[in-house]
Structure 1
Amino acid sequence: MEWIEALQKAITYMEDHLLEEINYEDVAKRVHTSSYEFHRAFSFVTGFTANTYIRNRRLSMAARELVETDAKITDLAMKYGYETPEGFTKAFTRFHGVAPKTAREEVGKLTLFNPLTITISVKGGKSMDYRIVQTEKKKFIALVREFSNGIINDEANHDVADFWGECNSNQMLSPIWMLREDGKRDLYGLCSPTTEGKDTFEYGIGIIVDEDTAEFDQADLEKKGFRIWDVNSGTYVVFDCVGENGDCIAKTWTNFYKEFLPQMGYEAAEETDYELYFDGTRPEVFCELWIPIKKK
């Protein structure tokens, strides 16, 4: 199934089951996509997560019912998925800018959040530089942590950035960084492929192990918290991320889903994707983004 059709089918499913206890994992199963890949694709294409979409649609519908009927606020809270009236009131106020009671009594301005329709507009005159690379098997050694799928494309979340900051401020990467010569101390941000049934992904920060890497005691490094990370051979599309911070990475992912995939005859593959941060050899880019792909 085309990914654009899968996203639209997912939206239809969410609309049909808005008043049921569902989340993005349930929706992903419905369109036969891993929860990780669905969450990532949906959030980068729409600008918000599927869970946020469900919550906003419920609150929009609840507001309409609030002002058009005499339904009790307690009943509306239960109907739209809140365990207590207090939880409903807090969410309603945050979304609409006015409390439910005030909205009913004063008919204040409310936020309308309509159902989504996924469309892709292809415009000329805009370049998107990329290259396709056939890779051999690669080996990395990295510090690895688990993160919730829910943080993907969440602007308010800085868990991965904080991981980088912790590694840099505490010099946690020194044992592997010194295995490379000056000018070849590129760092990689490794992101794991989907694991069936898990609501987390792994992210590692490390170096590549190749002919320019000094010999090392693997057992000793493992005692210090490092891990070998193997990546299979495959096809990758590579983009330059240009900007002052990690925002350019999110923008590149958005372009991948909105511009590259609809036009190029590829789909995302289940393999490690990674960012490549150069040791001073490419100062014009923030990093390179390597995304695994396969022909449809």
Structure 2
Amino acid sequence: MEWLTAMKKSIAFMDSHLCDDISADDVAAEIFMSPFYFQRGFKILTGITPAEYIRNRRLYLAALDVLGGKEKVIDIALKYRYETPESFTRAFTRFHGVSPVQLKKSPQSLNIFLPLKITISITGGNRMEKLDFTVSPMFGFKVIGFERIFSMENSYGEIPKFWDELREKYLGAVWSGKKELSEIERAVKENCIGEYGVCIDDIGGGKFRYLVAGKYCGGKVPEGMTLFEFPDLEWAKFNCTGPMPNALQNVNTKIFKEWLPGNPDYEMVTGCNIEWYDNSLMDSEDYKSAIWIPVKRKQESSERKFSSLNN
């Protein structure tokens, strides 16, 4: 499904099921997309997560019901999937700044949150920076690394802490040229662990696996480390130059806001992606990194190419 069409359909689906027990996984399934890519793309495009969108829309509609005065607060709470009136009142007060009872006395406090509308915004002109990328097939390969499970809600803040923890415990000692290495430190050195950051979406429930990894070169896998195998895939590799993390985050934003919406040829496949890191100083202006995303050629693009060859 075309990217913007999928995002628009996701919003329509969420708005039509606000009184149902739905999650981001349910929405992703409706638009035939990996929950990982759906949640990441939705957050980049809108500035909020799907869970926040659902919650905010429910609380806005709940406020309209409160002002309508036809239902009890407990019934409104249950209607919008809150287990108790107390939890509903807390969430309601955080969102509107007043409790349901207080809103009736000061309806001007209503925090309006209407359905989102997603459109393409074309800006820049000749000076607009273009994404530097290539698309090429790769044979399947294995990565080895340290794994941790993260939530979509807080991954941007927690993953850098994971890297810091591993630098302190293993990576820093290896990179500094330490002579006597433990079994894990030898695996770090031999497999260049720290070259890749790998996101794997195969858990569900708003969570995903993340590996600080390197390309597996064989040998024993030490306890506490994980292997993951990628099949044969075609990868879109987006190159990045600039200090971390801002430079790579900017490229990631451009992928979801510019490349995917306007790309006539490729769409994402499988719930995974790779961040590639150089081994030089990460705060350097010429630091090299990249984002690799598995893709496939769109059916309509293939049909256009076939048609042009026969005309």
User: CA-to-partner distance for each residue in 1:23-81, whole Å, 9 max, x for gaps?
Assistant: 22222222222333322222222221212111100101111222232532222212221
Structure 2 CA distance, aligned partners of 1:5 and 1:35? Answer: 16
Following superposition, the deviation at residue 161 of structure 1 comes to 1.9
Change beyond 3 A, Cα 1:287–1:97:
farther
Structure 2 CA distance, aligned partners of 1:26 and 1:272? Answer: 18
SS at match of 2:160: helix
Unaligned runs of 5+ in 2: 172-183, 299-311
Structure 2 CA distance, aligned partners of 1:127 and 1:40? Answer: 22
Following superposition, the deviation at residue 174 of structure 1 comes to 3.0
Following superposition, the deviation at residue 14 of structure 1 comes to 1.5
**C-alpha contact 1:42 1:50 (8 A) present in aligned 2:** yes
Unaligned runs of 5+ in 1: 211-215
Change beyond 3 A, Cα 1:285–1:113:
farther
Matched, 1:30 2:33: no
**C-alpha contact 1:145 1:204 (8 A) present in aligned 2:** yes
Structure 2 CA distance, aligned partners of 1:94 and 1:242? Answer: 41
User: CA-to-partner distance for each residue in 1:114-170, whole Å, 9 max, x for gaps?
Assistant: 01122112234222221214243333321122333x33xx47x63322221211121
1:116 aligned partner, one-letter code: L
Counterpart position of 1:91: 91
Matched, 1:178 2:186: no
1:44 aligned partner, one-letter code: I
Please, which of 293, 296, 311 is the counterpart of residue 294 of structure 1?
296
Matched, 1:200 2:207: yes
SS at match of 1:178: helix
TM-score (norm 1): 0.82
Matched, 1:189 2:197: yes
Counterpart position of 1:12: 12
**C-alpha RMSD over aligned residues:** 2.8
Identical amino acids, percent of aligned pairs? 33
* Aligned 1:42-191 pairs, distance under 5 A: 42-69=42-69, 71-125=71-125, 126-137=128-139, 138-148=141-151, 150-151=152-153, 154=154, 158-171=157-170, 174-179=185-190, 187-191=195-199
Change beyond 3 A, Cα 1:131–1:99:
same
Following superposition, the deviation at residue 197 of structure 1 comes to 6.0
**C-alpha contact 2:144 2:193 (8 A) present in aligned 1:** no
**C-alpha contact 2:93 2:99 (8 A) present in aligned 1:** yes
Structure 2 CA distance, aligned partners of 1:185 and 1:147? Answer: 19
SS at match of 1:82: coil
